[in-house]
Amino acid sequence: MANPEILYSGINDDVVFGSNVRVIQPVNLYGCTLGDNCFIGPFVEIQKNVTIGANTKIQSHTFVCELVTIGNNCFIAHGVMFINDVFKKGGPAGGDKNLWKNTIIGNNVSIGTNATILPVKITDNVVVGAGAVVTKDINEPGIYVGNPAKKIKSF
C-alpha cells in the first residue's frame, strides 16, 4: 500500500498583507495581495494572482481562484465561489491556464451567500443576491438576483 503525499493549508510566505488585516484560521492563502483593513474568515482559499482591495470582508467558506481582482469596500458573503475556467474545450482546462479568464469586481460590491461568479466584470455599487449565478458582465449599478443573475433594481 502506498503512502499519500500530505499537504497542509495555511498562509504562504508569498502573501502580501496591507496594514490591519485580520485572518481567521484555518485558511489557505498563497501568492495573493490583501489590502489594508481586510478581513478573511475561516475556511477561505485565496489563490495566487488575486488582489483584494482595502476594507474588503470575505466571509467563511469562500473560494477565490486565480485571476480575480476584488475592489475596495466590498463584502463577499459565506460560500461564494469564483470560477476562472469556463470549460471552453468541453471539459476542465487542466494545466492549460491560457484557457482561464479574469474576473474583476469593482468597488462597493456586495455578493450574497452561495453566489457563483463566472469570469466577468462587475462595476462599482452592485449587490449580487444570495444564490445568484453571474454569467455576464454587470455594467450598471443595482441589485442583481437569480440564475442567471438579472437586474431587479437600480440605484
What per-residue confidence (pLDDT) applies to 140?
Answer: 98
pLDDT tens digit string along 78-133? 999 999 999 988 999 988 889 999 999 999 999 999 999 999 999 999 999 999 99
Query: Structurally, how many domains does the chain consist of?
Result: 1
Is 101 inside any structural domain? yes
Q: Could you tell me the CATH number of the domain that includes residue 58?
A: 2.160.10.10
Tell me the whole-structure pTM to 2 decimals: 0.95
61 is catalytic: no
**Per the domain annotation, does 70 fall within a domain?**
yes
Residue 1: inside a domain: no
Find the catalytic residue in 48, 57, 61, 78: 78
- The β-bridge partners of 127 are 110, 143
Secondary element (H or E) of residue 122: strand 121-122
Q: What percent of the chain stands above pLDDT 90?
A: 93
User: Is residue 21 pLDDT above 90, yes or no?
Assistant: yes
Residue 18: Cβ within 10 Å count: 15
Per-residue pLDDT, 79:
98
Question: Does residue 76 sit within a domain?
Answer: yes
Among candidates 129, 155, 128, 130, which has minimal Cα distance to 141?
Answer: 155
Residue 144 lies in a domain: yes
**9 assigned to some structural domain:** no
Supply the range of the domain harboring residue 40: 16-154
Residue 99 lies in a domain: yes
Residue pair 66/83 in contact by the 8 Å Cβ criterion? no
Residue 32, in any domain of the structure: yes
